[in-house]
Amino acid sequence: MSPAPQPRFLRSGDTALVVEFGDRVDRDVSARVLSLGGLIEAEAIPGIVEVVPTFRSLMVHYEPLTLPHADLERRLGPLIERITVEERPGRRWRIPACYDAETGPDLADVAERTGLSIAQVIERHSATEFHVYMMGFLPGFPYMGTLPPELELPRRENPRLRVPSGSVAIAMAMSTVYTLESPGGWHLLGRTPVLMWDPRRAEPTLVAAGDKVMFTPVSRREYEDILAQSTAGTYDVRPDGEARA
């Protein structure tokens, strides 16, 4: 197997550097992005403020008075040589989701357009273990792949002005959860009662790039019960293998 091409350094203003690894959405590219991010965080280089992973690049925010641009590139060189393509052992989450006509107003349309039954759409979506590639658009909004090919659809031609928070949605090869009410053009399959972003938590964002997510179908009654607990701040959701309080 030929070695991966060297990443490109791209300036992004005076206080950020983009390290670009490729031009596609790919698990190996994602692994390299997350590997470099982890190496930078472990190195604790003075002057680096934050690293932000995307599908195919890592944005490095830095303080130029502490760490000039040229010095930053020199410091990153040895770390890039240590990058691995093995996926980091991210956390695995099982997130409850209610799939019905009210919480998932696009279920019937997705079924019709894909030639599947509503039950088959739900089964295929909930049976998929999604990889969190990146966060963006809204606080805690995860871009997760990869959908089964039979569920891939372009975004809606007419985006909604208001998508409820918690909406579980799909578009192209991706799935996501709308963490806040907002406009949006993804197809809505259901809704989770879990607060994927909650400023009351020590870490407001529930999932992170590199994590794995599966959705567990729940009834409308279960959805309402969990939602009441989540709203009250008493629902304890933890990744697999981590004890609950």
Residues 216 and 98 in one domain: yes
Assess whether 111 and 155 both reside in one domain: yes
* 6-50 pLDDT tens trace: 899 999 999 999 999 988 888 889 999 999 999 999 999 999 999
Residues in contact with 50: Cβ distance below 8 Å, sequence separation at least 6, in sequence order: 60, 61
Whether residues 100 and 54 share a domain: the answer is no
By mean pLDDT, which of 24-33, 107-116, 128-137, 227-236 is the weakest?
24-33
Distance CA 20, CA 72 (A): 15
pLDDT number for residue 25: 84
Q: What angle do CA 238, 241, 244 make, to 5 degrees?
A: 40
What is the number of domains present in the chain?
Answer: 2
Residues 164 and 116 in one domain: yes
Are residues 53 and 156 part of one domain?
A: no
113 and 215 belong to one structural domain: yes
User: Is 3 inside any structural domain?
Assistant: no
Q: Which of 24, 49, 81 is the last residue of a domain?
A: 81
CATH number of the domain that residue 59 is part of: 3.30.1360.40
Q: Which long-range contacts (CB under 8 A, 24 or more apart) does 112-120 make?
A: 113/153, 114/150, 114/151, 114/153, 115/150, 116/150, 116/151
Helices 27-43 and 69-81, axial angle in degrees (round to 10): 120
**211, 123: one domain:** yes
Shared domain check, 163 and 144 = yes
For residue 200, the enclosing domain spans 92-232
Boundary (domain end) residue, out of 81, 115, 134 = 81
- Average pLDDT estimate for 208-233: 96
Q: Kindly state whether residues 126 and 194 are assigned to the same domain.
A: yes
Q: Are residues 47 and 96 in the same domain?
A: no
Q: Which CATH number does the domain housing residue 100 bear?
A: 2.40.100.10
86-105 pLDDT tens trace: 766 689 999 999 999 999 99
213 pLDDT higher than 90: yes
Residue 244, pLDDT score: 55
Position 1 in a domain: no
Say yes or no: 71 and 110 in one domain: no
* Helices and strands per DSSP (H, E), number in the chain: 5, 13
In whole angstroms, what is the distance from residue 144 CA to residue 131 CA?
5
